[in-house]
Amino acid sequence: MALMTEQGTDDAAARPPRRKRYHGKNPRRFEDKYKEHDPGRYAETVAKVIASGKTPAGSHIPIMVDECLEALRLKPGMIGVDATLGYGGHAARILDRITPSGILIGADQDPIELPKTERRLRDKGYGAECFVAVRSNYAGVAKLLGERGLSADFVFADLGCSSMQFDDPARGFSFKHEGPLDMRMNPTRGLSGSEWLARTDAGKLERALRENADEPRAEIIAAALAGRSMKTTTELADALRSITGLHDDEKDLTLRRVFQAIRIAVNEEFIALEAFLRSLPDCLKPGGRVAILTFHSGEDRRVKKSFQAGLRDGLFSEISDGVITAGSEERHRNPRSAPAKLRWATRA
């Protein structure tokens, strides 16, 4: 009997922990969607989520991949940079085109997601001889290449926030889920969204709302929010909803713009983008190409003006004629592709 009891104890210890219970047929919370977080094991579930027009938890569906690859005109043996590695969807397709003799440097400032993506690409068979992962934002691309004595045949950038960052409540990017009001691409550096808002006066906040998100009610919102201490995304969202003068049918759009404006300010995204754009001509070989995906007017304006100035000054020999957007099929399949705009340029 003692032997049977001991064996029973060993079996119980060997069992994996019981997964967390949740209400309803499918989990709703980001952290409870264990199947979506493990696409290798639950590929069928992930495929169903994608087919429904949604992005699986913890992942990111790359946007306009074929259009980006066409803009870069990739060939085997090329050397280039993916300046916003993210989940690695574009990088995997780029590596497929430039290997076996090509090299891709993948840069990303997110210390949480970068190791996951590097492991994901290593598992696909891309070793150190063809792929190098570096923690850096896109403003540091010229330095990354200079340290290695390289010039690039191509540079690619997919700006903004990746789905696995945006959908994770712990990162604090979205008003749709309660979480700490953080918003940092690199949570180990700089002020969080909460700290930035508490230290910002009405004038500075109003400028951020106008410049970063074209918010038409910037003055009213800034007067109501500046200098306030708010720890969570829900606190900020509730404060915005309570502001008088905002119509009910406009509040969600206003929430999106305000969260976007604060995120851009916290991460100094436009400062980094302008530094990146200035450095591009020095990064590229003659005939090298750059392709940039943007997701709102502030990003697109800067890329457009930079490319036009480069063409006028003889730094670029050719630029895209207007913007390239996602086709109707992709917009239906992945609604997050709808605002995307692609522009490209060729080094003279």
pLDDT at 42: 58
- No. of helices (H) and no. of strands (E), the chain: 15, 7
CATH number of 65-163+270-347: 3.40.50.150
Task: Please state, rounded to an integer, the average pLDDT across all residues of the chain.
Answer: 88
Q: Side-chain half-sphere of 39: how many Cα atoms within 13 Å?
A: 13
pLDDT above 80: residue 232: yes
Beta bridge partners of 81: 105, 155
Q: Which residues contact 159 (CB under 8 A, 6 or more apart)?
A: 84, 138, 269, 273, 292, 293, 294, 295, 299
Rounded to the nearest angstrom, the gap between the alpha carbon of residue 302 and the centroid of all alpha carbons in its chain is 18
pLDDT at 6: 45
Higher pLDDT, 3 or 68: 68
Mean pLDDT of 94-101: 97
- Tell the residue number behind the tokens 């940079």, with chain if given: 81
* Contact of 211 with 264, CB cutoff 8 Å: no
Q: Virtual CA dihedral for 9, 11, 15, 18, nearest 10 degrees?
A: -50
pLDDT single digits (tens) 214-226: 999 999 999 999 9
The token pair at 195 is: 């700290």
Q: How far apart are CA 79 and CA 104, in angstroms?
A: 6
Name the nearest CA neighbour of 33 among 56, 3, 66.
56
pTM: 0.85
User: Using the 8-state DSSP alphabet, how is residue 85 labeled?
Assistant: -
pLDDT at 43: 56
User: Phi and psi (nearest 5°) for 121?
Assistant: -75, -35
Q: Virtual CA dihedral for 324, 327, 331, 333, nearest 10 degrees?
A: -140
At residue 275 the predicted structure's pLDDT band, cuts being 50, 70 and 90, is very high
pLDDT single digits (tens) 101-136: 999 999 999 999 999 999 999 999 999 999 999 999
Mean pLDDT of 282-295: 98
pLDDT at 58: 53
pLDDT at 166: 84
pLDDT at 14: 54
Identity of residue 20: K
* Contact of 162 with 108, CB cutoff 8 Å: no
* Contact of 174 with 218, CB cutoff 8 Å: no
Which helix (H) or strand (E) segment holds residue 150: the answer is: none
Where do the domains of the chain lie?
65-163+270-347, 168-267
Q: Side-chain half-sphere of 181: how many Cα atoms within 13 Å?
A: 23
pLDDT single digits (tens) 147-195: 999 999 999 999 978 888 888 999 999 998 899 999 999 999 999 999 9
CATH number of 168-267: 1.10.150.170
Which helix (H) or strand (E) segment holds residue 114: the answer is: helix 113-123
pLDDT above 70: residue 55: no
At residue 251 the predicted structure's pLDDT band, cuts being 50, 70 and 90, is confident
Q: Which residues contact 162 (CB under 8 A, 6 or more apart)?
A: 60, 86, 87, 110, 113
pLDDT at 4: 46
